[in-house]
Chain A
Amino acid sequence: MSFLQPLFLAGLLAAAIPIAIHLINRRKATRQEFPALRLLMESNKKEARSVKVRQWLLLGLRVLVIAALALALAKPYFLSDEGVTASERLPTAVVFVVDDSASMQHAGWWENTVEQFDEQLGKLRPWDEATLITASTIDGPVTRFTSDHGEIREAFSDLQATDASADLSQAVVAAGDLLSSSQLPSKRIVVISDFARGGFPDSPTPEAKIPYDVRQVSVRDDAESVPENLGITAVDYEQEHSGQGGSWKITATVRNFGPEDQKGVELRLNVDGEDIGGGLVDVPARKTSTHTFRHRFEGAGVREAYVELVNDDPLEIDNRYYFAVDLKERIRVLLVNGEPSSVAYSDELYFAVRALNPGTTSQSAIIPEMTTPEGLAGRDLNDFDVVVLANVATVSQPNAGKLEQFVDGGGGLLVTMGDQIDATSWNQTMEGLLPKPLRGLKRLAERDDPDAPVKITRLGTGNRDHPIFRIFDLPGGSSLQSVKVYSYMLLEPTQQTETREILAYKDNAPALIERKVGDGRVVMLTTTVDREWTDLPVRTAFLPLMRRSVQYLARRATSAGKDRPVVGERLTLDVSGLVDERAIIHGPEDSRLVLEPTDGTVGFAPEHVGFYEVWADSDEAQGDADNPRNRLDALSFAANVDSDESKLDPLGQNALDPWTKPDEGKGGEAAQAAIPTNERRVNVWPPILFAITMMLLLETLLGARRSVLAKVWRRITFQKDPKVEV
């Protein structure tokens, strides 16, 4: 604060005058003899406290009045760049940018947004024009400048914090574009936001910087502190082996966005509205932790599930992560027959097909389909979960590439040996898939050799931990060890990190060996699936071994590689061949969206977190809920909040500086001094004078004799003076 007439501050000494007068007055009291002094003293005891308070109050007021008068005469003022700088006196175009992203659902922040918006809108003069855009949509709700501020207020009243993510910097740039269209001489952007780190995912480019006055209005109660926040950033699920009733591994990833370690955070899994179970996890500050649930889904179709954090952090939207699981009903197997035969049980796949699908009356979930090595090229492997190459002599390079892509994408490949196999060719074309290179046939005995029992080998015990062999723990599973093997394919003893032996012969040569390729697996049986090299097909262990192998290899339902739709981000669904005229999307909060496909796809941005069902042409709203063919389970999905919205770290007071152009023409200090500033002088003495007036009025009331005041009051209210009776 500065003073125009600082000399008058010496007048502050005059504030001592009332004190002096007070002291002198005490000495100047009129002396009077009085007979009833005892009664007077008794009355004084009763009144003493209030009298003393009033006396001190009066003295204080008088001192204050004189001090304030001296201060007012010194004409205090301060410089301010608020309110009516030269540019701000001109009509101003204002763009309000309101952050309505998910992070604004933090407890209390939206209420603060409402207050701040009212305050900022109230500062506009009638001739100012304004628009209102939001960070989540940018193109609304009011994109033209209007001087009807009531319209802006009404448009704002319909807003609330959404589930969507928002790039605030883009919104500011869009506001700059809007301002460039305004004809008014003064322009300003007012950004009302939490200014969280997650709202600025990108760095500014020089051309994106805007040349306007940008004002930052924070809705945080404490602009500096980092709020505690936990969020579930991902849920991964994986079928441990395919088929109905299989076990699923569901892994939730929890991130601690806050500065303090969190211990014993409770997570709960919910499937189809039913609470399945929970667990506790410790999450260090700024780190992630995972927790794995195991669950068996019953039946087929889409399951809607979510993992939820049971805690009371102030941002709730990231405490729940939705995911949809599509349970397959059938496993489709493409069997490539390398040695077909018109004699049924001489056919390479006679026993295998019957093991996988015992008959038309069976309820088997495995649907085998046969083809030849030549027919393999014309097949779309995406229609199948498992491919079986049984005694196929060679695999062409294109087919090998096709198979490799199929396995890499999660498909399963079962390779069985036989006398047709060309080991050299296989080693060349199928190098990327074979668990180990083939060395050559090892013939132990012929079937009709009388010494065969001593020459042959038998199967050993399987790896009990492997899903294929878990079933052999059951009674009767020991029949596997009685299988006779006359011949088998020897493998090169190479070390493959992705390869493991599942089953060996008694002579320790590998019988069943597995290799993981991408998301899929390859299992190789080094003997045949017909009776040429072994009597395995006629043993009781064959059927479970084949079925378990295929189920194990089948394409697993997994979250890996799947899109993770985020609220507010555009999503494209491929509906080619599924939808004739329109796709209907049912979302959370009873939302229903009808879309017409373009080039076999429909695109839209989910607005809320939760589950979305896609229906073809007609939907349950039209009474077709009983027709499951209309519901496209494979396209159903769950949308979640962008994890950027969980990052609540404050960016501070200068968050928007990188997005604005620095003022041009700024030179050294001398140049700075030469530039006329926008600061204006704000005089403080008028309010001080007003305060003096008020204090004097109060002093008059307090200082006036009660008898006088009572008399005045009686005059005002037309009362008669009371008569004193003796």
Chain B
Amino acid sequence: MTETLRQQYLDPAVLDELGTMQVRARMLVEGILAGLHRSPHHGGSVEFAEYVEYSPGHEIRHIDWKVYAKTDKYYVKQYEDETNLRAYMVVDGSGSMRFKSEEAPISKLDYASYLSAAFAHLLLRQGDAVGALSFNADQRQFLPASARKNHLDDIFYLLDNQPAAGKTGLDHALRTIAERANRRSVVFIVSDFLDADGEAMQLLKVLRHRRLDVAAFHVVDPAEITLPYEGMMLFEGMEGEGELLVDVDDLRDAYTERMREHMAFVKQQCEQADIEYLRFPTTQPIEQTCLTFLRGRI
């Protein structure tokens, strides 16, 4: 099954294209893998750094039982040698991500999953720790960051079992990642940002203030932009917004204008928060999206 998942998410052509690319943090990263990342810390001694609340994925052997005895909570010790680059793949698993128009080869969710898998694979291959968070308004599945080789399978499993239903709940997801992610982590947010309102964008800024390196991947289906339907249509919301009966021609212009405004808003908010923003359609090859991002980082 793991092999099947690997083949599904890691198109050999994609990985071949990305093979020699190195992800470089824009800011000063404390931990790097040997031979690739420069660390500001000298010496290879393993020193205690901080406690982190346990979550599934942490090694049980690192749980501090003394602290558990005192607080009744599981805490995991973090050591300096684990301060390599940590990356979190935050993938939108709401109902709207299930959408796939006729001209798109895959749904937005599939595209987001493949993209996240490619980045996870790349990062893990160079020894960085990768975590993942799949979210909608009702549930969030979180995998702590880990550099273990077999951690990639867990990530793939999480990506493959996303709900693809319910409301987005981007703000909840951002709060979760703000709580769980260490400083100096890189957060990849892959979403269609359809419910991105002022509050959610404010949380993005909070992440940035916490010295997290955030990159927003805005995935859109071409049909969301051009509204290519004809005649009377009964549109049905994918996140329980109800129905709308319209003659598409009557409001195509108004809708495309409104959509442009919305995308411009998301982009502007990201730029204000010093967050890297990348928008791409689901018709664009995944490797091209990866390269566009990575080239900006070199």
Question: Do these two chains interact?
Answer: yes
Contacts of A38 in B (CB 8 A): 194-195, 237, 241
Nearest A residue to B230, CB-CB: A705
* A37 close to chain B: CB less than 8 A: yes
**Minimum C-beta distance from B252 to chain A (A):** 7
* A690 close to chain B: CB less than 8 A: no
Give which listed residue, B232, B241, B250, contacts A54 with CB less than 8 A.
B250
**Minimum C-beta distance from A263 to chain B (A):** 67
What per-residue 1/0 map shows which CB atoms of A22-59 lie under 8 Å from chain B?
00011011111111111111111011000100110000
Is B241's CB under 8 angstroms from A37's CB? yes
Contacts of B227 in A (CB 8 A): 40
Is B236's CB under 8 angstroms from A33's CB? yes
Is B280's CB under 8 angstroms from A726's CB? yes
* B246 close to chain A: CB less than 8 A: yes
Is A706's CB under 8 angstroms from B253's CB? yes
Docked CA distance A75–B15 (Å): 79
Is B252's CB under 8 angstroms from A51's CB? no
Number of interface residues of A (CB under 8 A): 29
Jot down 15 A-B pairs with beta carbons below 8 A, ordered by A.
A31-B233, A35-B95, A35-B224, A37-B241, A38-B237, A38-B241, A39-B194, A39-B259, A41-B244, A43-B258, A44-B254, A51-B250, A55-B247, A726-B220, A726-B279
Is B225's CB under 8 angstroms from A726's CB? yes
* B166 close to chain A: CB less than 8 A: no
Which B residues from 229 to 271 make CB contacts under 8 A with A?
229-239, 241-242, 244-247, 249-259, 262
Is B253's CB under 8 angstroms from A40's CB? no
**Minimum C-beta distance from B278 to chain A (A):** 11
Give A contacts to B, CB under 8 Å: 25-26, 28-44, 46-47, 51, 54-55, 705-707, 724, 726
What per-residue 1/0 map shows which CB atoms of B94-117 lie under 8 Å from chain A?
011111000000001000000000
Contacts of A40 in B (CB 8 A): 227, 235, 244, 246, 251, 255
Is A34's CB under 8 angstroms from B235's CB? yes
Docked CA distance A37–B98 (Å): 14
Contacts of B192 in A (CB 8 A): 35
Docked CA distance A705–B256 (Å): 16
Q: Beyond A39-B255, A43-B254, is A30–B234 a contact (Cβ under 8 Å)?
A: yes
Q: A29-B245, A41-B241, A43-B251 are in contact. List 5 more A-B contacts (CB 8 A).
A: A35-B96, A35-B194, A37-B235, A39-B194, A39-B255
Is A35's CB under 8 angstroms from B99's CB? yes
Is A39's CB under 8 angstroms from B251's CB? no
**Minimum C-beta distance from B175 to chain A (A):** 22
Nearest A residue to B246, CB-CB: A44
**Minimum C-beta distance from B30 to chain A (A):** 37
**Minimum C-beta distance from A51 to chain B (A):** 4
Q: Beyond A34-B236, A36-B224, A726-B220, is A705–B249 a contact (Cβ under 8 Å)?
A: yes
Docked CA distance A39–B280 (Å): 19
Contacts of B259 in A (CB 8 A): 36, 39
Is A29's CB under 8 angstroms from B224's CB? no
**Minimum C-beta distance from B256 to chain A (A):** 8
**Minimum C-beta distance from A679 to chain B (A):** 51
Contacts of A51 in B (CB 8 A): 246-247, 250-251
Contacts of A25 in B (CB 8 A): 232
Nearest B residue to A709, CB-CB: B249
Is B246's CB under 8 angstroms from A37's CB? no
Contacts of A34 in B (CB 8 A): 99, 224, 235-238
Can you list the 6 inter-chain pairs with the closest CB atoms, starting with the nearest? Answer: A35-B96, A29-B232, A43-B254, A37-B237, A43-B255, A705-B249
**Minimum C-beta distance from A54 to chain B (A):** 7
Which B residues from 198 to 237 make CB contacts under 8 A with A?
220-222, 224-227, 229-237
Docked CA distance A31–B235 (Å): 6
Nearest A residue to B192, CB-CB: A35
Is A26's CB under 8 angstroms from B232's CB? yes
Is A706's CB under 8 angstroms from B234's CB? no
Which B residues from 39 to 68 make CB contacts under 8 A with A?
none
**Minimum C-beta distance from A586 to chain B (A):** 81
Contacts of A35 in B (CB 8 A): 95-97, 99, 108, 192, 194, 221, 224, 238-239
Q: Beyond A29-B233, A34-B236, is A44–B244 a contact (Cβ under 8 Å)?
A: yes
Q: Beyond A29-B232, A32-B229, A726-B222, is A37–B242 a contact (Cβ under 8 Å)?
A: yes
Of the candidates A32, A36, A706, the one having the most CB atoms from chain B within 10 angstroms of its own CB is A36
Nearest A residue to B254, CB-CB: A43
Docked CA distance A35–B97 (Å): 8
**Minimum C-beta distance from B291 to chain A (A):** 17
**Minimum C-beta distance from A650 to chain B (A):** 58
**Minimum C-beta distance from B25 to chain A (A):** 28
Docked CA distance A726–B278 (Å): 11
**Minimum C-beta distance from B159 to chain A (A):** 19
Contacts of B229 in A (CB 8 A): 30, 32
**Minimum C-beta distance from A220 to chain B (A):** 53
Q: Beyond A30-B233, A43-B258, is A707–B194 a contact (Cβ under 8 Å)?
A: no
**Minimum C-beta distance from A133 to chain B (A):** 66
Nearest B residue to A35, CB-CB: B96
Give which listed residue, A32, A46, A705, A707, contacts B233 with CB less than 8 A.
A32
**Minimum C-beta distance from A544 to chain B (A):** 109
Contacts of B97 in A (CB 8 A): 35
Is A707's CB under 8 angstroms from B252's CB? yes
Docked CA distance A446–B2 (Å): 179
Docked CA distance A34–B251 (Å): 15
Contacts of A29 in B (CB 8 A): 231-234, 245
Contacts of A36 in B (CB 8 A): 96, 194, 224, 259
**Minimum C-beta distance from B216 to chain A (A):** 15
Is A706's CB under 8 angstroms from B252's CB? yes
Nearest A residue to B282, CB-CB: A726
Docked CA distance A39–B262 (Å): 9
**Minimum C-beta distance from B102 to chain A (A):** 11
Is B258's CB under 8 angstroms from A42's CB? yes
Contacts of B258 in A (CB 8 A): 39, 42-43
**Minimum C-beta distance from A298 to chain B (A):** 90
Q: Beyond A37-B244, A726-B225, is A32–B235 a contact (Cβ under 8 Å)?
A: yes
Q: Beyond A32-B229, A35-B96, A724-B226, is A706–B241 a contact (Cβ under 8 Å)?
A: no
Docked CA distance A42–B194 (Å): 13
Is B238's CB under 8 angstroms from A706's CB? no
Q: Beyond A34-B99, A37-B241, A38-B241, is A706–B236 a contact (Cβ under 8 Å)?
A: no
Docked CA distance A707–B226 (Å): 11
**Minimum C-beta distance from A39 to chain B (A):** 5
Nearest A residue to B95, CB-CB: A35
Nearest B residue to A722, CB-CB: B256
Nearest B residue to A710, CB-CB: B253
Of the candidates A29, A43, A707, the one having the most CB atoms from chain B within 10 angstroms of its own CB is A43
Is B254's CB under 8 angstroms from A28's CB? no
Contacts of A37 in B (CB 8 A): 235-238, 241-242, 244
Which B residues from 263 to 298 make CB contacts under 8 A with A?
279-281
**Minimum C-beta distance from A21 to chain B (A):** 12
Nearest B residue to A708, CB-CB: B249
Contacts of B244 in A (CB 8 A): 37, 40-41, 44
Docked CA distance A44–B245 (Å): 10
Is A46's CB under 8 angstroms from B254's CB? yes
Docked CA distance A33–B252 (Å): 16
**Minimum C-beta distance from B171 to chain A (A):** 16
Docked CA distance A438–B278 (Å): 143
**Minimum C-beta distance from B48 to chain A (A):** 47
Is A44's CB under 8 angstroms from B251's CB? yes
